[in-house]
């Protein structure tokens, strides 16, 4: 495979920093709805590259605060955008990485209540916003954000005699397929992105017992194709982002060694842009910050030298999760 043999750290840092400065481009304005997610991908990636200082800490915290709706309690992806579960988790993650949840000035009780308000009565799933779409992604976001906010005990509360936590576990059980994996809803096809959300949420809830580890890990390890890259489901193209969605699940299930690490590392490194920095979905494509984070996070899980270790449950630096005393069981290479 052609392409750089080593991680182009400085190029990736420069690439991420210049993204924040390109605010006079059409692309910048067209991606407002993803801005807070983008900041989470950028900050986490810089932290894993040990260069978190490349983006100004105070400016980042102020921007996150400006996305907070102090009436509703959630975060939109940009100031004056509607609150959403995805941007709310990204906001909390960025603040947590900067150890700034308290310092930011947000009222965490309001955020917790916003998240809890997105679970329909007597259900075990959370919606993305008030319009009611359900997806395992949003349930993971709720569980992860509540845990980062120290509010997981809220899920012990009972509703009609059943603890909310048990309803969530039961819902994931219903989303489980014959191959051991999970789709985005009940009866939906297994997809490795959704597998991450289920495995990581169940890890946070200490309920991995409902998973058949060998069956699911077999399905996950079958995602590696000839090029060394991983796909998200059978018969699909390989993509660098699955280096995160697949490896995180294998790591939490203690089966990370079921992947050919050398071939996957080489696939990720070949997907770097040697001129302008950043990592693309596959070699020769255009780089973006999403694939840059998940490529670097994959390398970190596989023990690439001189990277911060990434926590496979939260997709945040291990040292942040250890500081918050939230570490779960997993293996890294
Ligand atoms: C904190 C890491 C983190 C995540 C928050 C947003 C979220 C929770 C999880 C997303 C999980 C997910 C569904 C990831 C997959 C995204 C993806 C690349 C989807 C592509 O789907 P298709 O059908 O592509 O377009 P394939 O590769 O299947 O052809």
Task: Please indicate, yes or no, if residue 226 is contained in any of the structural domains.
Answer: yes
Domain membership flag for residue 66: no
Mutate to test the pocket of ligand 1, among 182, 191, 297 (most ligand atoms within 8 A of CB): 191
Q: Is the distance from the beta carbon of residue 263 to the nearest atom of ligand 1 less than 6 Å?
A: no
Axis crossing angle, helix 289-301 with helix 9-21, rounded to the nearest 10: 150
Per-residue pLDDT of the chain (333 residues; tens, 9 = 90+): 567 889 999 999 999 999 988 777 777 777 888 899 999 999 999 999 999 999 999 999 999 999 999 999 999 999 999 999 999 999 999 999 999 999 999 999 999 999 999 999 999 999 999 999 999 999 999 999 999 999 999 999 999 999 999 999 999 999 999 999 999 999 999 999 999 999 999 999 999 999 999 999 999 999 999 999 999 999 999 999 999 999 999 999 999 999 999 999 999 999 999 999 999 999 999 999 999 999 999 999 999 999 999 999 999 999 999 999 999 999 999
DSSP string, 227-258: TS-BBSSTTS-B-TTHHHHHHHHHHHTT-GGG
How many Å lie between the centroid of ligand 1 and the Cα of residue 199?
14
Domain shared by 227 and 315, yes or no: yes
Q: Using a 6 Å cutoff on CB, does residue 245 contact ligand 1?
A: yes
Q: Indicate which atom in ligand 1 lies nearest the CA of residue 316.
A: 1
Same domain, 220 and 201: no
Beta carbon of 140 within 6 Å of any ligand 1 atom = yes
- The SS3 assignment for 127 reads strand
| Alpha carbon of 314 to ligand 1 centroid (Å) | 15
Mutation probe of ligand 1 site: the residue of 40, 42, 138, 196 with most atoms within 8 A of C-beta: 196
Q: From the CA of 184, how far away is ligand 1's center (Å)? A: 10
28 found inside a domain: no
Residues 223, 316, single domain; the answer is yes
288 CA to centre of ligand 1 in angstroms? 15
Same domain, residue pair 224 and 306: yes
Q: Which residues contact 251 (CB under 8 A, 6 or more apart)?
A: 301, 312, 330, 331, 332
The DSSP-derived string for 140-171 is: HHHHHHHHHTT-GGGGG-EETTEEHHHHHHHH
Using most ligand atoms within 8 A of CB, pick from 232, 233, 296 the residue to mutate for ligand 1. Answer: 232
152 and 237 belong to one structural domain: no
Residues 150 and 199 in one domain: yes
238 and 323 within one domain: yes
Among the candidates 209, 235, 259, a domain finishes at 209
Domain count, the chain: 2
The reported pTM is: 0.97
Task: Indicate if ligand 1 lies below 6 Å from the C-beta of 239.
Answer: yes
Burial zone of 112 (CB within 10 Å; 0-12 exposed, 13-18 middle, 19+ buried): middle
Question: Quick check: CB of 288 below 6 Å from ligand 1?
Answer: no
CATH number at residue 265: 1.50.10.20
Q: Which atom of ligand 1 is nearest to the CA of 244?
A: 2
Domain assignment present for 165: yes
Looking at the structure, tell me whether residues 132 and 223 fall in a common domain: no
Helix (H) or strand (E) holding 220: helix 213-221
Of 209, 241, 264, which residue sits at a domain end? Answer: 209
257 and 175 in one domain?
no
User: Does 133 lie in the same domain as 183?
Assistant: yes
Task: Tell which of 185, 209, 233 closes a domain.
Answer: 209
Top mutation candidate among 126, 137, 230, 251 for ligand 1, by most atoms within 8 Å of CB:
137
Cβ–ligand 1 distance for 291 under 6 Å, the answer no
User: Which tokens in the block code for residue 235?
Assistant: 């018969």
CA of 313 to the centre of ligand 1 (A): 15
Any domain includes 164: yes
Q: Domain range spanning residue 177?
A: 119-209
Instruction: Please state, in angstroms and rounded to a whole number, the distance separating the CA atoms of residues 132 and 112.
Output: 18
Task: Output helix, strand, coil percentages for the chain, rounded to the nearest 5.
Answer: 50, 5, 45
Pick the residue whose CA is nearest to atom 11 on ligand 1. Answer: 193
Is residue 56, in this structure, part of any structural domain at all?
A: no
- Dihedrals phi, psi of 132, to nearest 5 degrees: 90, 10
Same-domain status, 228 and 316: yes
Both 270 and 228 in a single domain? yes
* Residue at 195 is within a domain: yes
264 is a domain residue: yes
Distance 157 CA to ligand 1 centre (A): 31
């Amino acid at each position: 495979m052609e392409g750089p043999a080593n991680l182009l750290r400085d190029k990736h840092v420069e690439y991420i920093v210049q993204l924040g400065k390109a605010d006079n481009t059409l692309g910048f304005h067209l991606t407002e709805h993803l801005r807070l997610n983008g900041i989470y991908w950028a900050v986490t990636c810089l932290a894993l590259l040990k260069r978190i200082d490349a983006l100004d800490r105070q400016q980042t915290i102020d921007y996150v605060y400006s996305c907070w709706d102090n009436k509703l309690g959630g975060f939109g992806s940009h100031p004056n955008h509607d609150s959403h579960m995805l941007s709310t988790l990204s906001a909390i993650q960025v603040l947590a990485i900067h150890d700034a949840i308290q310092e930011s000035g947000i009222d965490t009780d309001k955020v917790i209540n916003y998240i809890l308000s997105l679970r329909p009565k007597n259900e075990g799933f959370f919606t993305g916003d008030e319009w009611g779409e359900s997806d395992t992604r949003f349930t993971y976001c709720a569980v992860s954000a509540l845990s980062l906010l120290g509010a997981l005990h809220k899920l012990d509360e009972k509703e009609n005699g059943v603890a909310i936590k048990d309803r969530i576990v039961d819902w994931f059980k219903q989303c489980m397929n014959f191959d051991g994996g999970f789709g985005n809803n009940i009866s939906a096809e297994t997809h490795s992105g959704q597998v991450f959300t289920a495995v990581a949420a169940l890890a946070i809830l200490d309920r991995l017992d409902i998973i058949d580890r060998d069956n699911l890990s077999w399905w996950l390890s079958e995602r590696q194709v000839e090029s060394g890259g991983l796909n998200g489901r059978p018969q699909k193209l390989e993509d660098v982002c699955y280096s995160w969605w697949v490896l995180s699940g294998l790591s939490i299930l203690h089966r990370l060694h079921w992947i050919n690490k050398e071939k996957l590392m080489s696939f990720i490194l070949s997907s770097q842009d040697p001129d302008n920095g950043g990592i693309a979905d596959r070699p020769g494509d255009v780089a973006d910050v999403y694939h840059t984070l998940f490529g670097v996070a994959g390398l970190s899980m596989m023990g690439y030298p001189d990277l911060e270790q990434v926590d496979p449950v939260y997709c945040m630096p291990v040292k942040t999760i250890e500081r918050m005393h939230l570490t779960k069981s997993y293996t890294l290479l």
